[in-house]
Amino acid sequence: MFKKIMALVAVGVLATACGGGGETTADGGAPAASGGGDSTITMGFAQVGAESGWRTANTKSVQESAKAAGIDLKFSDAQQKQENQIKAIRSYIQQKVDVIAFSPVVESGWDTVLQEAKAANIPVILTDRAVDSADKTLYKTFLGSDFVEEGKKAGQWLVEQYASETGDVNIVELQGTTGSAPANDRKSGFAEVIGADPKFKVIASQSGDFTRAKGKEVMDAFLKAHPDIDVLYAHNDDMGLGAIEAIEGAGKVPGKDIKIITVDAVKDGMQALADGKINYIVECSPLLGPQLMDLAKKVLAGETVPDRVVTEETTFTQEQAKQALPTRQY
């Protein structure tokens, strides 16, 4: 929409300038494009799904920010399926949106559709998760957290908590969606930090697909196979909350018998942290909407934007959660 207007304006100006044909409006501007268009930017956003509290908060941030920025948002939910996201991106290309933004559910398999967007001269902005495309011209910028850093922060807390421990520390890990950037990177960052001390043993590690249901199911299996679990590292709060149900179902006390570290810091996670059922949460902010809309306007105005915009985020102990809860935005 936005691009067509600009083209019309150009034609309009040319027409008046060289006195050629092409009717113009009274003020000499070009006639408004069909469909009563104005200079509104149209953005196509292909969301992962609605798998977690984080995702719901992220969707809300994108939708509210588009409205506040006067950007016309087309929005799709892919139910965590890559083929649905690709279909959505293709439909945005057909609709000739001005800009496409999305959070790639997994890292690989995007080059073809991103080349189609490039060929259609529609800029793409990555938000939240990254792609592994070698061709960096396929997108304008990547706005999101540093997931390796998040994994390291989780590992760092564990190293500090068990500094005086001489025996083995048996860890089970609930990974995020297989193949997703947050799962790959939170795993590697954590492993790098705890790898410094052989007492830390990851005795089981499996995907819970970022959902509560799957987190509970996999934790049930871990508990049956391992009576000796000391720590759970879950790649998001939702899987941690599902695991808490499994731990309590096994007659153990979450936060005491089994220490729990999660990532996100959504409201339900922070409540469990304040209640002592989780021991530490590494924040991953879903509030990417305002920065996304700002980046889209800059890209469409032809301004250069940084290749990478890393979101600001922190960590929470049980005490800090009690302080932060009352004013938590998500």
Give whichever of 86 and 93 is closer to ligand GZL, judged by the CB atom. 86
145 lines the binding site for ligand GZL (CB under 6 A) = yes
Among 2, 45, 54, 233, binds ligand GZL (CB under 6 A): 54
* Contact status: 270 vs ligand GZL (CB under 6 A): no
Q: Which two tokens stand for residue 118?
A: 């490039």
Query: Virtual CA dihedral for 41, 42, 48, 49, nearest 10 degrees?
Result: 120
Binding partner at 228 among ligand GZL, Zn ion, none, C-beta below 5 to 8 Å by kind = Zn ion
209 scored as a contact of ligand GZL (CB under 6 A): no
Q: In the set 5, 42, 47, 55, which binds ligand GZL (CB under 6 A)?
A: 55
Q: Which does 284 bind (CB under 5 to 8 A by kind): ligand GZL, Zn ion, none?
A: ligand GZL
CA 48, 50, 55, 59 dihedral sign is: positive
Q: How far is the CB of 90 from ligand GZL (least distance, A)?
A: 22
Tokens of 166: 């001489």
The option from ligand GZL, Zn ion, none interacting with 102 (CB < 5 to 8 A, set by class) reads none
Token couple for 73: 């948002």
Residue 297 burial by Cβ neighbours in a 10 Å radius (0-12, 13-18, 19+): middle
| Closest CB 312 distance from ligand GZL, rounded Å | 13
Taking Cα atoms as reference points, which of 259, 275, 269, 284 lies closest to residue 158? 259
210 binds ligand GZL (CB under 6 A): yes
Query: Which residues, 67 to 126, sit near ligand GZL by CB under 6 A?
Result: none
Residue 72: other Cβ atoms inside 10 A: 17
Does residue 40 contact residue 32 with C-beta atoms inside 8 Å? no
Residue 300 beta carbon to Zn ion: minimum distance, rounded to whole angstroms: 55
Q: Which residues would be at the binding site for Zn ion (CB under 5 A)?
A: 226, 228
Q: State which of residues 73, 129, 215, 270 lies at the interface with ligand GZL (CB under 6 A).
A: 129
Strands (E) in the chain, as ranges, are 42-47, 72-77, 99-102, 124-127, 141-144, 169-175, 200-207, 231-234, 259-264, 280-283, 308-310, 315-316
Nearest distance, CB of residue 302 and ligand GZL, angstroms:
29
Q: Are 264 and 53 in contact (CB under 8 A)?
A: yes
The span from the CA of 176 to the CA of 182, in Å, is: 7
Q: Are 281 and 328 in contact (CB under 8 A)?
A: no
Closer residue to ligand GZL (CB): 171 or 263? 263
185 binding partner (options Zn ion, ligand GZL, none; Cβ < 5 to 8 Å by kind): none
Q: What is the DSSP letter of 204?
A: E
Question: Could you say whether residue 264 binds ligand GZL (CB under 6 A)?
Answer: yes
Regarding 263 and contact with ligand GZL (CB under 6 A), the answer is: yes
Q: Which residues bind ligand GZL (CB under 6 A)?
A: 51-52, 54-55, 128-129, 145, 182, 210, 236, 238, 263-264, 284
